C-alpha cells in the first residue's frame, strides 16, 4: 500500500515533486479547519505543515498511522513535540532554510529605516517631491548593537562589517574568543549596548525571559539617534513603549517585521512616519520557501523509508536505551537549570554520570543536556541533531565522564562549569519505582525537590529569618510555593533556598528579593 503524505499548507513545487517521485501519495489539502484536519490526518503516514496548522495532542492521537510530522521552516511552536514523542511520531523541521533570508531582510530594513525609503516612495507616488523631509543617515561608521549571536545574528554581523559599521553584541552565552573571531566586541550589560548603539537588531528566541525585553525602562537609556530593527519574534519589544519613545524623541525610529499578535493590522507603531513595518517577511523569499520545501520533503522521505533523518528534532528520545531513556527529561531540565544559574558563557561544560547508567552509552543524555542548556539562548529550535553544532558555534566545549560508583544515589547526573571565577553546578537523579525526577544539588549545596515549570533559587547568608522573609514576599506577590528545600553545603551552612512555585515569579519580585539585606542573589527559572 502506498503511504499517504498529507500536506495542509502551501509547499514549494520542488518539495511536492520530490515526494511524488519517491512513490508517495501526496494528498494536498489547504485551509483545513481543525475538525477537517482531524478527519484528514486519519490514515496518513506523514503530515507536512508550515506555521498555520496546529498539530496538538488531539491531532497526533487522530493520526494513528503517523510516522512523521514535517514543519517546512524553523519554528515548532505549532507542534506538540512531547505528544508526538510519546506516540513515537518523529518531528522534523528545516532549520537552515530561512536564516539567510532573515539576515538579508534585517539588512534591508536597516537601509530602509536609515534612508526613509518607504515614506519617500509613498509621497512621491502621491505627487510630492520632497528631498529635504526624508534626509537619511549613513550606516558607515555607525555602531550596530546585535542582541543574540545565533545563526542569523552572525550573518547580520558579517554583512554589517561590509558597510564599515562598528559591531557590538550582547549575548551572555557566547565566549569572548568566539566574539573575537567574529570581529565584534561583547557588552556585558544590555543597558550599555543600548547606550552605545546607533542601530540595534534583535536575533533571540521568545521565552519568558525575553518577553517584553525591550521596554520603557531599557529604552530610557538609548541615545536619541537609536534605530531598532526586529526580525526575530513578536512580543520581545513592547510596541507601545517603543511608540512612546519615538514620539518623545528618545528613539529615532524602528523597522519591525514581527508583532506580538499576528496577523495584525493595528499597532501604535503604524502611526509613526519614522517606523518601517513589514508583515513577517523574514522568511518570505522564493529561495527560502524552495529550500524549506525540498528540505522537509527529503526528511519525510528518509523517515518513511526508515533511514537516518538529519533534522529530526526528537529522534534520539525514541532511540535511547531503555535504561537511559527515563533520564532524558531530567537531563534536559538540568541543562535548562544550569544555563539559568550560569547567566553567562561557560567555556567548558562537564557532564558526569555516576552509578548504574554509567555502564550504558550516555551520549544521548549529553545531547539532552545540551538541548536544554541551549534552548533558551539561541534563536532556533534545538534538537538532538543540531545541539553539538550550536554548542561549537558558541565556543562551548563538552566533557563527558562516567563512573560506575555512586556514593549517595543509585544514579546521578551532574553538570559543572565556570563563569569567570564563579562555579556553577547542578545534579539530579530519578527516585523510587516510578523514576520520579529530583534535583539534588545546586551550586555545591545539597537539596532535594522535584524540578517544576517555575522555580526560584535564592542564595543568602546563614542568618535567622531568611526563609520567612522570602516566603512573605512571595505570598504578598500572590506566588504560591509548591515545594521548597534549604540547601546545605559541605560546611553545613544553610545558605541556599530552592523553591518550586505554581506560577512564574515576576521580575519585580526577584529584584525585591535581591534587595533584602543578606540575600546574595535570586534567580527565577523557567524549566519548560
Distance CA(524)–CA(498), nearest Å, equals 10
Grid-cell match 569572548, residue found: 176
Q: Hey, how many other C-beta atoms are within 10 angstroms of the C-beta on 446?
A: 16
Distance CA(259)–CA(256), nearest Å, equals 8
Grid-cell match 565522564, residue found: 401
Helix (H) or strand (E) holding 91: strand 90-93
The yes-or-no answer on residue 233 being catalytic is: yes
Residue from 290, 284, 254, 277 nearest 102 by CA? 284
Distance CA(370)–CA(202), nearest Å, equals 23
Distance CA(33)–CA(65), nearest Å, equals 20
- DSSP secondary structure of 117-179: HHHHHHHHHTT---TTTT----STTPEEEEE--SHHHHHHHHHHHHTT-EEEEE-TTS-HHHH
Q: How far is CA 162 from the centre of its chain?
A: 28
Helix (H) or strand (E) holding 395: none
Dihedral angle computed from the Cα positions of residues 381, 385, 389 and 391, in that order, rounded to the nearest 10 degrees: 70
The yes-or-no answer on residue 105 being catalytic is: no
Choosing from 36, 135, 262, 271, the catalytic residue is 262
Grid-cell match 535511547, residue found: 320
Choosing from 280, 418, 425, 512, the catalytic residue is 280
Three-point CA angle 119, 124, 126, nearest 5°? 95
Grid-cell match 514581527, residue found: 258
For residue 373, report the phi and psi dihedrals to the nearest 5 degrees.
-65, -30
Distance CA(526)–CA(276), nearest Å, equals 34
Choosing from 71, 203, 227, 233, the catalytic residue is 233
The yes-or-no answer on residue 262 being catalytic is: yes
Distance CA(281)–CA(168), nearest Å, equals 26
Residue from 398, 404, 396 nearest 378 by CA? 396
Going by the DSSP 8-state scheme, the letter that residue 97 receives in this structure is S
The reply to whether omega before 213 is within 30° of 0 (cis) is no
Judged by DSSP in three states, 365 sits in: helix
- Enter the C-alpha cell of residue 343: 547567566
Which active-site residues does the annotation give? 233, 262, 280
Amino acid at each position: 500500500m502506498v503511504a499517504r503524505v498529507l500536506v495542509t499548507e502551501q509547499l514549494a513545487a520542488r518539495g511536492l515533486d520530490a515526494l511524488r517521485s519517491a512513490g508517495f501519495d501526496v494528498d494536498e489539502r489547504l485551509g483545513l479547519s481543525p475538525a477537517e484536519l482531524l478527519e484528514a490526518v486519519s490514515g496518513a503516514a506523514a503530515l507536512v505543515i508550515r506555521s498555520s496548522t496546529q498539530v496538538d495532542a488531539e491531532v497526533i492521537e487522530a493520526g494513528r498511522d503517523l510516522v512523521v510530522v514535517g514543519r517546512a521552516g524553523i519554528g515548532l511552536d505549532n507542534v506538540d513535540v512531547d505528544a508526538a514523542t510519546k506516540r513515537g511520531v518523529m518531528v522534523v523541521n528545516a532549520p537552515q532554510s530561512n536564516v539567510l533570508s532573515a539576515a538579508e531582510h534585517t539588512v534591508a530594513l536597516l537601509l530602509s529605516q536609515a534612508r526613509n525609503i518607504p515614506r519617500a516612495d509613498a509621497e512621491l507616488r502621491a505627487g510630492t517631491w520632497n528631498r529635504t523631509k526624508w534626509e537619511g543617515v549613513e550606516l558607515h561608521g555607525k555602531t550596530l548593537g546585535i542582541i543574540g549571536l545565533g545563526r542569523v545574528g552572525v550573518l547580520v554581523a558579517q554583512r554589517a562589517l561590509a558597510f564599515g559599521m562598528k559591531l557590538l553584541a550582547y549575548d551572555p552565552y557566547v565566549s569572548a574568543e568566539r566574539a573575537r573571531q567574529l570581529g565584534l566586541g561583547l557588552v556585558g550589560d544590555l543597558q550599555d549596548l543600548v547606550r552605545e548603539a546607533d542601530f540595534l537588531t534583535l536575533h533571540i528566541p521568545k521565552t519568558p525571559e525575553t518577553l517584553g525585553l525591550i521596554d520603557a525602562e531599557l529604552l530610557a537609556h538609548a541615545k536619541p539617534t537609536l534605530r531598532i530593527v526586529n526580525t526575530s519574534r513578536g512580543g520581545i519589544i513592547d510596541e507601545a513603549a517603543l511608540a512612546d519613545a519615538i514620539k518623545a524623541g528618545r528613539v529615532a525610529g524602528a523597522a519591525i517585521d514581527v508583532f506580538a499578535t499576528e496577523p495584525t493590522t493595528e499597532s501604535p507603531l503604524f502611526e509613526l512616519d519614522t517606523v518601517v513595518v513589514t508583515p513577517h517577511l523574514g522568511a518570505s523569499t522564493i529561495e527560502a520557501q524552495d529550500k524549506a520545501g525540498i528540505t522537509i520533503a527529503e526528511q519525510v522521505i528518509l523517515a518513511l523509508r526508515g533511514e537516518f533523518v538529519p533534522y529530526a528534532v526528537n529522534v534520539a528520545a525514541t532511540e535511547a536505551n531503555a535504561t537511559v531513556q527515563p533520564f532524558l527529561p531530567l537531563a534536559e531540565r538540568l541543562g535548562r537549570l544550569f544555563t539559568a544559574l550560569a547567566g553567562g558563557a561557560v567555556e567548558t561544560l562537564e557532564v558526569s554520570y555516576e552509578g548504574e547508567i554509567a555502564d550504558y552509552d550516555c551520549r544521548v543524555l549529553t545531547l539532552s543536556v545540551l538541548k536544554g542548556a541551549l534552548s533558551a539562548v539561541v534563536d532556533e529550535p534545538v534538537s538532538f541533531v543540531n545541539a553539538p553544532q550550536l554548542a561549537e558555534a558558541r565556543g562551548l566545549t563538552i566533557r563527558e565522564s562516567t563512573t560506575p560508583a555512586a556514593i549517595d544515589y543509585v544514579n546521578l547526573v551532574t553538570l559543572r562549569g565556570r563563569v569567570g571565577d564563579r562555579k556553577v553546578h547542578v545534579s539530579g537523579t530519578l527516585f523510587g519505582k516510578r523514576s520520579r525526577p529530583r534535583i539534588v544539588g545546586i551550586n555545591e549545596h545539597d537539596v532535594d525537590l522535584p524540578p517544576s515549570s517555575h522555580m526560584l533559587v535564592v542564595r543568602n547568608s546563614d542568618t535567622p529569618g531568611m526563609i520567612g522573609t522570602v516566603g512573605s514576599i512571595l505570598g504578598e506577590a500572590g506566588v504560591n510555593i509548591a515545594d521548597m528545600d534549604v540547601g546545605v553545603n559541605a560546611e553545613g551552612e544553610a545558605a541556599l533556598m530552592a523553591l518550586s512555585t505554581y506560577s512564574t515569579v515576576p521580575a519585580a519580585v526577584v529584584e525585591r528579593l535581591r534587595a533584602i539585606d543578606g540575600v546574595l542573589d535570586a534567580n527565577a527559572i523557567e524549566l519548560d
